[in-house]
Structure formats: C-alpha cells, structure tokens
Amino acid sequence: MRDVRTKRQNALDFAVATSLAFAVGCRETGSSSDRRDGYAVDGGGVSAMSSPARALSDCTAFAKMSTSDKAGRLLIVGLPGPRLNDKSKALLARIHPGGVCLYKKNIESDSQVRDLVADVKSLYSPEMEPFIAVDEEGGAVSRFEAGILQLPGAMALGAAGSPDLAREAGEQLGRYLRSLGINMNFAPVLEPATNPASRTIGVRAFSDESAAVSTLGGAFVAGQQSAGLLSVVKHFPGHGIDQVDSHWRIPVIPAKTLEELDEETRPFAVALTDGGADGVMVSHAAIPGITGTLDPITFSHDVLTDYVKGRLGFRGIVVTDALSMSSLRKAERAEDVAARRAVEAGADMVLLPSGDPSAAHAALADALTSGAISEERSSDALMRICALRKPHRDRAQGATEGPDAALPREIARRSITVLKGGDVVPVRPGSSVAVVTTSSAFHVAANRLHPARSILLPFLAPDLYGVPREWAPDVLDGARAACAKADVLVVAIINDEELPLPQSLRALGKPVVLVSLGRPYLLELGRDADALVAAYSYTPASAEAVVSVLSGSEPPAGRLPVMLPHFERGAGLMVLGGPKE
C-alpha cells in the first residue's frame, strides 16, 4: 500500500481544506472543470471547483448543526411502509437522517409517493431537507409496479448499443423520479458482467466489456443529471470475477497492484472523474492484495480515502451498501460499530435500509464527540453532502411530467436478439403455437400469437438461502401433454431453475423457441433448442417486443452484449436476412 499511502497526505490536505471552508460557510467560486481542489458542477455532476449555484446558507446551516444532527446527516435510512406512522415520525424528527431511501414496500402509486415525500420533508427545516433516494435500475431491480414505470434495464440498453438511447432512458427516469419528489438514485450499475453465469449482477450490467459499460453508463448518468437527479453509481469496486452475491458472501477482488485495480474498476474511474457522478456506492468486497486483509473495503481507509478520494480524486459522496447484509455482519456483527468504522474509513453516508437506526446514530454521535471520527473526517463528509444539495435544481424546475410511455417499448424493440433459428422465427402463419411461460407479462403479450394453448407456470427462483426450487413432476407432465398437438412451442423463462421446462418439451419432437427473459446465459444452457431469443428483461415492454419478433411484425435489432462460450459478443441474426452485417 506504499503507493496509495503517498496519496494520504493529499486526502488529508483536502479534508483540512474542506474543514476550513466549512467553518466560513462556502468556498470561493471557480470555473475550471478539470481542477481538483474543490467542487464544481461539470456536465451535471460534482467534480472540480465549488458550484456557484450552491447557496451560502446551505453550508452555514451545516456548520451550525449540533453533534446529533451531524451524526444524523451521515445516515440514509429506510421506512417501514408506504406511510409514516407516529413511531417513524418521532424517529425522523429526533435523528434527522441525511437521506431516506424508498423501496418497493414504500411505493403504491405516484400520488402516495408524493404524499410520503412531503410528510418526510415536513419534519425538516427547508435548508436541511434530506436526500430522498431510491434504488431504481429498471428491469430486474425496479421498485415500481407495472403501469407506473418499467424500463427494461441496463443489459437491454447494452443490446441496443445506443448511447443516445441510454441518455434518454436516464433523463426520462430522472424526470419521473423528480416529479415524485425523489432526488437521488442508486443507479446505474457500472461493473461489467464478468461472469455470465452469475445472477448477482447479470442483466443489471450494460455489458461484460468495460468500454461499453463506461460509454452507456456515462450516458445514463448524464441523462439523469440533466433532469436534476443525483446519480450514485454502484457497486465499487465490483463483485469480483465470479460475482458472488455480497448479501451472503464477501466478494474477493483479485487485484494485487494499484494498476490492476485501476484496470478492474475502469468504468468507475471514468464516472468518478471525467463522468461527474455525484456519488459512488461501495460493495462489501475485499481486496486483500491491496489492503492485506479479507475485511470488506467498507472499513478500509486505504481504499475509500486513499484510493477513491486520493488516487481517483473523487469529490462526490461515498455511500456504503446496506450495513444489514449478512456478508458484512460476518466481518462486523454490530451495525452501530459498522457505521462508525465505515465513516472513519472514508464513507460519507451509510445505508441502513431496515430496522431502527438509533444505535448507529448514537455510535456516530459518540465518535464525533470523542474524536474517534476526527473533525477533518466529519467536515470532509459534511462538505461533500452539502455540495450536492442543489447542483441540479435550476435544470430540474420543469421536471414534473411523467415518463414517455413509448420509451420502454423503443428500448425493448431495439434490444431483442435472435441468436439461433432464422428458419423457425418468425413463426409461420397458420402454425399451431403453444406458449409456456413463467412470466405473467409474456403470458398476456403472447395472445397476439393466437396460441392454441397458453400456459402460465409458477415462477421459480432460489429461496432466500440460495436453495433452488423445482416444480413437481406432474407440472412438467401436464405442460408436455398440453403442447402435444402444437406445431411450434414457445417457451419463455426467467431463471435457471426453469430450464427443465424446455428440456422436457423437446421430447415431443416439435420445434422449440427458447426465450430468455433473464440472463442470456440461459440460452447458452438451453442452446439445443431450435431457436434462441434474448430479451434481457421480463417487463411488459420486453414481452411485447419478443412477440413482435416471433410474429414477424418487427425484425430483431439487438446484439448480444456479453461473450458466451458458444456465442460471440455482438452476435445477432436478422430473421429475414441472415447474420447482421
């Protein structure tokens, strides 16, 4: 860590500078976007010098805070339901967390979310309102029900391959979230899909190629920021080559030198420097070759301060992933101690999505009082938070309309990828078609194929402990019997556990069209099917787009954005013209 530690003085100098600026309320205004001695709005994000748009009152209000309020400002908390009860109101009024993150359990409708956000903000003075955050990636990770907003997700954008479309997706999402009162999004995912077999990241990534992730992710960030939405990219430094689930296990990053870590995290480096991201969420990963320990980097000064803020020169906020994850609890069982250790290491805000954050708040307040968290460290965190308060407000004044309903359909249309089966797809007119799927959206969309039989089977996925589920034998027997008289079988699945379905139906000797509504790796595993179609998403828009390709009303337009053992990155057939040029 010698090379990283040479940056520690830089980080300390910056902390001292922010402490001095914090005392007087604001830094001098600058205009150069490439200077590294303060903050600036650069392409919508916080990067170099101070933003002239940041009101002096923001910083002076922070400077006058009590120790309890400073501790609260370092927390992002969750809420138990779609409305504030008396207990939640009392908690928010007492600790004044700096952020509130909304999850699916908090979201019922547009009007309900607006009311909830207004109720939260009513407990704060106007100059001290919290960030209202959400974890909205689209596709597989969406907090919104069908009919509100459902973008197909990152890998669908990767298959479409258009930075303009990615930017528009970010902008439309930003406008919509801002119209609800939400001003921060923990998205997009900027780690490549390094392991196509892993579901941890999977279709949440744009591609397995760093350059594509940087380009499309940067465009998505720019779109969100143009709508006034703060963009917190994730999950630095990634989940390792195997991409294990950090909810349960600590991923290990293989980098042994700073140069290797630079290469491993290149999309983040671009976003945190040139791309102007507002924040970065760190995963509970370990980098033993850099830190010398298997402890998660959540507690590593070497990584959070020396590398992210020093070597990369990042001036936004560093946010932890949820401290409630089992993987982190194995390293530090006490959530309050974890919160203190993370802030000491360089995290500016810690995420506590469930439970009572009172113990974490008390631990942070005690650490601020005792000096365990130094004044330089706390001032650095608070100034970074302060710098984000209003950088996009002027451009967000008009962000009150809902999203363009045509956008999810356009993303889906341009993403559908046919890897095999140009002689089977589109389905010949007059053919008797049987559809079997685990997706209710696909079940509805497939009515356009006028199927002789359409069967919706229960969705299968591992349980909370990763134990696979499976159908009873009579379920597969029933599906096979129902499809026996069809000419063509269309099977649309989401997860690995559902692969026995197309395998069972192939025994009928009929052409099988296998549609993956999840990871394209399912098509690798089911490549014996007569036709293979990747949708990357089980949203209604993606289901409709697949049906359009199957019926022949639209040609497939997507390219495979990841490398599979039997399919090259960029693969994709045009049904009526052979391979793409």
Q: Which of 58, 135, 321, 380 is catalytic?
A: 321
The pair of three-digit structure tokens given for residue 83, joined into one six-digit string: 């409305």
Query: Which of 120, 224, 219 has its CA nearest to residue 176?
Result: 224
Question: Terminal CA-to-CA distance of the chain, rounded, Å?
Answer: 48
Look at the alpha carbons of 71, 232, 270, 276 in this order and tell me if their dihedral is positive or negative.
Answer: negative
Rounded Cα–Cα distance for residues 307 and 7 (Å): 8
Give the DSSP H or E segment for 532: strand 531-534
In this structure, how many other beta carbons lie within 10 angstroms of the beta carbon of residue 546?
Answer: 32
Give catalytic status of residue 306 as yes or no: no
Contact between 233 and 225 (Cβ < 8 Å): no
Q: Are 210 and 217 in contact (CB under 8 A)?
A: no
* Residue from 299, 306, 301, 308 nearest 277 by CA: 308
DSSP line for 154-210: HHHHHHHT-HHHHHHHHHHHHHHHHHTT--EE---B-S----TT-SSSGGGSS-SSH
Phi, psi of 473 (to 5 degrees): -55, -35
Determine whether 247 is an active site residue. yes
As a whole number of angstroms, the distance between CA 338 and CA 346 comes to 12
CA distance 68 to 72: 6
Integer Cα distance of 531 and 526 in angstroms: 10
Active-site residue, selected from the candidate residues 37, 119, 242, 247: 247
**Do 135 and 98 meet the contact criterion of CB atoms below 8 Å apart?**
no
- Kindly tell me the sign of the dihedral angle through the C-alpha atoms of 89, 91, 97, 103: negative
Per DSSP, the three-state class of 449 is helix
3-state secondary structure of 506: helix
* Secondary structure in 3-state letters for 324-341: CCHHHHHHCCCHHHHHHH
How does DSSP classify residue 531?
Answer: E
Give the contacts of 477 (CB within 8 A, at least 6 positions apart).
Answer: none
Structure tokens at 364: 């942070």
User: HSE of 503 in the Cβ direction (CA atoms, 13 Å)?
Assistant: 9
DSSP 102: E
Rounded to whole angstroms, what are the CA distances from 149 to 5, 229, 269? 45, 16, 30
Residue 277: phi, psi to the nearest 5?
Answer: -60, 150
Strand partners, 141: 138
Closest to 117 in 3D by CA, of 135, 102, 137, 136: 102
Q: Which residues are catalytic?
A: 247, 321
